C-alpha cells in the first residue's frame, strides 16, 4: 500500500529488505510495556484488555517507547489472544494469574462452533488503534502490526492458560490430530486475514509470533506448527509489506521456517549465537532480527554496550534488525533499555571488519 506521509526513518524497512543501511535499526519486543513508568501510569487506570480494546490507550502506550527510548520502529500495543477471543473464546485476564480461556477447546464440536473472524467488525478496535498511531507517528518511524501464529494460539485455546509444558495441547496432537488440524486450519485463515486487515489499516510490516514453537519436537513442529505459520505468513506477504516470522525455541528450524514461510526476516531468539543462526540459514536471502538475551539489560551499562556491540558484529551490518531475543522484562530500568538502543544506534561500524563490505554495498565512491 502507498503511504501518504513519507518516512523520515525507514532503516527498519530497508534492513528487512536487506537493502544497505547507514546504521542497524533497533526496536524491542514488548517495548510498550511495564518497564516504563509512563506505561504503568496508563495501566494503573485500566486493565490490560481494556487498554487493548481502547484505541486511544493502545495508541498512547504504543508511542511511548518512540518518544522515551528512541527506537526505530513502533509495534502496535495489543495481545495475540485477541484472535481466539474474536472467534468466540471468552478471554479473562486477572491480575497475577495471566490470560485464561475459562472454556478451553477440547473437541471437534467446539472447533466447529468457532466463528469465522471478520477483522473489520470483530477486531476493529485494533485497526482503529493502528490508524491512530499511524497518524500520530506522522512518518517518524514505521509501524509494525502483529499476530500470534496458529499453533501458539491453538495451544492456548486447548490449555485454557499458559503452562510450562503444554502437555494438554500436545496430548490433543497425539490423541486427536484431526481435531487439532481443524483448529489450526481455522486459525491460519483468521490470522492471515487479520494481518491483511492490519496492513490495510496502516501497518508497514507484520510480525508473526509462534511463541510456543519450542513446546514441539521436530516431528510435531513440522506437522502442526510450520505449515500453518507458513499459510498465515503467505497471506500477510500478499499485501506487499515485509513479514517477520519469529518462532522462539525452534532455532534448529530457522532454515525450514525461512523456506516454508518465505518471510522477509526470521526472528532469532537468545538461545542461539548469531553466527550459528546465520550458518543455519546458509545463503538464503533472508534478514534476521534479534537477539540479545533480555536479562543482559540487568548488567551495568558498559557491559550492555559491550554485549550489544558484540552482537552487532556477529550479525554484521546487512539484513539485521537489532532486537532482544525475547520481550523486555518488566523490572529493567528504562536507562538500561535506552543504553541498549543507543549502543546500536551509535555503533561505529567503521572500526570493524564489516565496514569495507558495507561501504562497497553502499557504493561509497571516495
Which residues are part of the catalytic machinery? 30, 34, 43, 79, 156
The C-alpha atoms of residue 174 and residue 176 are separated, in whole angstroms, by 6
CB 231 within 8 A of CB 192: yes
**Could you tell me the three cell numbers for 269?**
531468539
Question: Which CB sits closer to a second copy, 37 or 218?
Answer: 218
Instruction: Give the residues across from 290 on adjacent strands.
Output: 322
CA distances from 319 to 267, 286, 325 (A): 12, 7, 16
Angle 159-291-218 from CA coordinates, rounded to 5°: 45
Question: Which CB sits closer to a second copy, 131 or 171?
Answer: 171
User: What is the closest distance, in whole angstroms, from the C-beta atom of residue 298 to a second copy in the complex?
Assistant: 4
Question: Which CB sits closer to a second copy, 67 or 310?
Answer: 310
Interface positions with a second copy (CB under 8 A): 164-165, 167, 170-171, 173-175, 214, 217-220, 249, 251-252, 270-273, 276, 293, 295-296, 298-300, 303, 307, 325, 329, 331
User: What is the closest distance, in whole angstroms, from the C-beta atom of residue 306 to a second copy in the complex?
Assistant: 11
User: What is the closest distance, in whole angstroms, from the C-beta atom of residue 329 to a second copy in the complex?
Assistant: 6
CB 337 within 8 A of CB 27: no
User: What is the closest distance, in whole angstroms, from the C-beta atom of residue 284 to a second copy in the complex?
Assistant: 19
User: What is the closest distance, in whole angstroms, from the C-beta atom of residue 268 to a second copy in the complex?
Assistant: 11
Of the chain, the end-to-end C-alpha distance in Å amounts to 37
CA distances from 138 to 16, 84, 251, 279 (A): 21, 32, 36, 39
Judged by DSSP in three states, 289 sits in strand
Question: Which CB sits closer to a second copy, 320 or 326?
Answer: 326
Of 334, 236, 292, whose CA–CA distance to 26 is shortest? Answer: 292
Q: Strand 98-100 relative to strand 92-94: parallel, antiparallel, unpaired?
A: antiparallel
Kind and range of the H or E run holding 362: helix 355-362
Question: Which CB sits closer to a second copy, 95 or 331?
Answer: 331
Q: Which residues contact 152 (CB under 8 A, 6 or more apart)?
A: 80, 209, 210, 211, 212, 213
Question: Which CB sits closer to a second copy, 46 or 107?
Answer: 107
Sign of the Cα pseudo-torsion (130, 231, 27, 49, in order): positive
User: What is the closest distance, in whole angstroms, from the C-beta atom of residue 171 to a second copy in the complex?
Assistant: 4
Amino acid at each position: 500500500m502507498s503511504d501518504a506521509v513519507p518516512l523520515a526513518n525507514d532503516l527498519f524497512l530497508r534492513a528487512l529488505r536487506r537493502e544497505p543501511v547507514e546504521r542497524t535499526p533497533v526496536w524491542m519486543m514488548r517495548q510498550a510495556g511495564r518497564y516504563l513508568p509512563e506505561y504503568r501510569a496508563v495501566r494503573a487506570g485500566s486493565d490490560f484488555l481494556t487498554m487493548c480494546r481502547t484505541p486511544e490507550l493502545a495508541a498512547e502506550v504504543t508511542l511511548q517507547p518512540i518518544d522515551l527510548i528512541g527506537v526505530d520502529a513502533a509495534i502496535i500495543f495489543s495481545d495475540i489472544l485477541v484472535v481466539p477471543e474474536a472467534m468466540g473464546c471468552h478471554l479473562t485476564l486477572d491480575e497475577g494469574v495471566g490470560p485464561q480461556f475459562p472454556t478451553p477447546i477440547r473437541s471437534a464440536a467446539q472447533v466447529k462452533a468457532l466463528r469465522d473472524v471478520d477483522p473489520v467488525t470483530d477486531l476493529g478496535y485494533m485497526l482503529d488503534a493502528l490508524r491512530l498511531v499511524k497518524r500520530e507517528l506522522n512518518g517518524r518511524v514505521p509501524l509494525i502490526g502483529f499476530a500470534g501464529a496458529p499453533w501458539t494460539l491453538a495451544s492456548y485455546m486447548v490449555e485454557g492458560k499458559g503452562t510450562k509444558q503444554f502437555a494438554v495441547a500436545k496430548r490433543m496432537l497425539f490423541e486427536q490430530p484431526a481435531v487439532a488440524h481443524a483448529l489450526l486450519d481455522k486459525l491460519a485463515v483468521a490470522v492471515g486475514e487479520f494481518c491483511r486487515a492490519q496492513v490495510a489499516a496502516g501497518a508497514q510490516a507484520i510480525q508473526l509470533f509462534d511463541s510456543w514453537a519450542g513446546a514441539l519436537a521436530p516431528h510435531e513442529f513440522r506437522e502442526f506448527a510450520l505449515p500453518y505459520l507458513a499459510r498465515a505468513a503467505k497471506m500477510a506477504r500478499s499485501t506487499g509489506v515485509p513479514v517477520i516470522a519469529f518462532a522462539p525455541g525452534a532455532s534448529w528450524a530457522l532454515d525450514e521456517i525461512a523456506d516454508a514461510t518465505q518471510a522477509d526476516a526470521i526472528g532469532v531468539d537468545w538461545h542461539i549465537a548469531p553466527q550459528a543462526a546465520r550458518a543455519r540459514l546458509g545463503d538464503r536471502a533472508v534478514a534476521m532480527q534479534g537477539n540479545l538475551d533480555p536479562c543482559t539489560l540487568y548488567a551495568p551499562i558498559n557491559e550492555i554496550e559491550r554485549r550489544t556491540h558484540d552482537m552487532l558484529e556477529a550479525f554484521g551490518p546487512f539484513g539485521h534488525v537489532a532486537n532482544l531475543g525475547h520481550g523486555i522484562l518488566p523490572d529493567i530500568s528504562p536507562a538500561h533499555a535506552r543504553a541498549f538502543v543507543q549502543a546500536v544506534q551509535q555503533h561505529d561500524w567503521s572500526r570493524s571488519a564489516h565496514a569495507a563490505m558495507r561501504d562497497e554495498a553502499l557504493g561509497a565512491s571516495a
